[in-house]
Structure 1
Amino acid sequence: MPFVPLLLMVFRIGRLGAAISLLVLTVVGTACTAEGLGPITPPGTGIGTKLQLFQLYLVFATLIALPVATELKRRKLLFSAVQEGAALHRIIADRSGDIIMAVDADGTIRFASPSLSVIAGFSPAAVTGRLARDVVAFEDIDRVIRAHRNAMADPAATVMFEFRAHKASGELAWFESHARAISAEDGEVTGTVNVVREVSRRKARELNLARAAATDPLTGLSNRRIFTAAYEDAIADVTACHGRSYLALFDLDFFKRVNDRFGHATGDDVLRAFAAILKANVRSADTVARLGGEEFGVLFDGLSQVEAQEACERVRAQFAAATVTAPDGSSVATTVSVGLAALREDRSLAEALRAADAALYASKGAGRNRLSIAA
């Protein structure tokens, strides 16, 4: 039985080879069977039986050759598609301005596109085989690992996350990654493919906008919104630790006269000068804010009354001794009055401000340029 030549034709030419081989086998086999020389010639059988047996033989030959040819064709098409996909992937990876990375389930980098060297300064070979978290900022490692696992847990979803990572130069930069799971033929998730883009400029703009939203543009101090949020935190600390904190209000004396006589530009210089003195005499843990106009506030977190009072007196004395030069060369000097109030668990910000404001106006009424403490 010529099964081996038949299969060789199938492997060599495919379905066309199978058809040609079966045609030749039918013609030759039929002629030989009619002459009593067929592949199946049991002794004592008539020509009709031999032909029937040969037909059965052809059926088996066809059932062997055609499925094999079909499977070979399918594999050839699949291999061609894989080659085309690999070529397309390589073109995209080479031409993309973003970094394309393939990461195994355990976080090992298996592929990195050439753009990595342009954006981050690493050659693809330098990171291949390393754990992705090796170059991620320590504070963001958990976030990156969590995003990687989330992407693998939901192969149908694309997970977007931002993180900081070190470039080859040591610079810390912001990146945005879109991760999607990689699945094998059996459906098992083997890792993720990531499209990574540097977003340091965008993050810097966002940071500047956030800072602008929280900062008084004239003095650079915090604004009232930040002061309000800090008060809530300070009250929480007082409640939890049974500590002492104080709120101080500062109001520049006769500030309207400065604006009227020397102009608003000089008035702005006076406000900036006071803000610098105020910031220089409090701790970094304290919240310093311009609340509006010539009024400023400080939250002394965790200070005793004596310590808060001493800080306020330093500010008052230094500002009384300071001068600002007006455009006409005149020296401008003024003073500040202060009201100090303790923070209490049962006292809202509005109530604390009223208490400090009452003490502040007690200072004004007593002649200004002095500190008063709320009852």
Structure 2
Amino acid sequence: MLFSHLLPDLVQSVLDALPTPVFFKDRTGVYQGCNRAFARLVGRPRREIIGLTVFDISPEEYAKSHFDADAALMQSGGEQRYEAQIKRCDGERRHVVFHKAALYGVDGEVTGIVGTILDITERKALEVKLADMAERDALTGLLNRRAILAHLEALHRDRRQASQTLCLMMCDVDHFKSINDRYGHGVGDEVLRKVAHALCQNLRDGDRVGRIGGEEFLIVLATADVDDARQVAERLRHLIASMEVHCGEDTSLSVTISIGVAQSLHQDEDWSGAIARADEGLYAAKRSGRDKVVVTDAHTRLVHHKDWHQS
């Protein structure tokens, strides 16, 4: 009898010592018990949780998915493990892993569930950070070559399926080798950072810019109108031309860019064809004196072509 009297308190003490949130629910979804870790995660004292349902402690859009998962487990029995989001009483969202098991009565029928929660919010944040780092150019913070080309490929595929076109730009910093030779690579890096920042901050929603390599940038525009793309290119060109980069005491230098603009074709054209034509426009701008925008069309002869799938 003494052991039976002490068992509930002993079990609660053991559960409260665990760092992992633990909870119990009956067949109707009412909380019958939990430990301190669960109460901390939810953001309520344990005494306020017992007797409530998930709809009482979570917003409805979260509670409904949790309730449906519990109902499925009590219907099938066994165990259940899945990732989800929860929302604390203070509004903070946390990424978690639920691991639940059905509880059975002496007659073998499911009487409720017991579950644990693993908080993986920090792990998820690290995964997002690492994924972002894998897609970013270390110097400029822009999308790197692989990421911007992947974006272009996906957008081009979607546009082709809808029989639509897209527009893109190839941009290159003028006389960049001379800047490095005259002022050093530190100033050259600062030029690239400032140009990248200016491009990124002055594009529209849906536009994407990435550093292809060296002093060359690729801009994939949300617009499918080539005249609109030309206006965007001219605005960016003027913006960069008005920018100054400090390269020493009382010394600064002006920077210009050349831009090639192209529109994809309605026919079954690979996205690399549109890049190649924009690339040709870029080199035409270079040959004609730099600090220019050149728009190429489908009939432009490509005298400068790269294999963008391989390069």
Q: Cα RMSD (Å) of the superposition? A: 2.8
Give CA deviations for 1:213-264 in whole Å, capped at 9, x if unaligned: 1222222212222212222331233234333321111111111111122122
Matching residue of 1:324: 245
- Superposed, which structure 2 residues align to 1:1-375 within 5 Å? 86=8, 89-104=11-26, 107-132=29-54, 135=57, 144=66, 147-149=69-71, 151-152=73-74, 155-157=77-79, 159-344=80-265, 346-375=268-297
Note the C-alpha offset of 1:132: 2.2
After superposition, the Cα gap between the structure-2 partners of 1:197 and 1:255, relative to the gap in structure 1 and judged at 3 Å, is same
3-state SS in 2 of match to 1:185: coil
1: distance between equivalents of 2:115 and 2:100? Answer: 4
Higher gyration radius (CA): 1
2: distance between equivalents of 1:225 and 1:302? Answer: 22
User: Partner amino acid for 1:186?
Assistant: D
Note the C-alpha offset of 1:333: 1.7
Q: Is the 8 A contact 1:143 1:163 kept in 2?
A: no
2: distance between equivalents of 1:285 and 1:173? Answer: 29
3-state SS in 1 of match to 2:89: coil
Note the C-alpha offset of 1:351: 2.2
Name the structure with the higher strand share: 2
Note the C-alpha offset of 1:271: 1.0
Q: Is the 8 A contact 1:107 1:131 kept in 2?
A: yes
More deviation, 215-224/117-126:
117-126
Name the structure with the higher helix share: 1
2: distance between equivalents of 1:133 and 1:284? Answer: 37
Matching residue of 1:70: none
User: Partner amino acid for 1:365?
Assistant: R
2: distance between equivalents of 1:173 and 1:87? Answer: 30
Aligned residues: 296
3-state SS in 2 of match to 1:174: strand
After superposition, the Cα gap between the structure-2 partners of 1:133 and 1:298, relative to the gap in structure 1 and judged at 3 Å, is farther
- Which of 1 and 2 has higher RCO (CA within 8 Å, sep 6+)? 2
After superposition, the Cα gap between the structure-2 partners of 1:106 and 1:331, relative to the gap in structure 1 and judged at 3 Å, is farther
Gaps of 5+ in 1: 1-78
% identity of equivalent residues? 30
1: distance between equivalents of 2:291 and 2:149? Answer: 26
User: Partner amino acid for 1:123?
Assistant: P
1: distance between equivalents of 2:294 and 2:100? Answer: 60
Q: Is the 8 A contact 2:58 2:88 kept in 1?
A: no
Q: TM-score, normalised by structure 1?
A: 0.70
2: distance between equivalents of 1:190 and 1:312? Answer: 67
3-state SS in 2 of match to 1:326: strand
Q: TM-score, normalised by structure 2?
A: 0.83
3-state SS in 2 of match to 1:117: helix
User: Partner amino acid for 2:86?
Assistant: A
Note the C-alpha offset of 1:99: 1.2
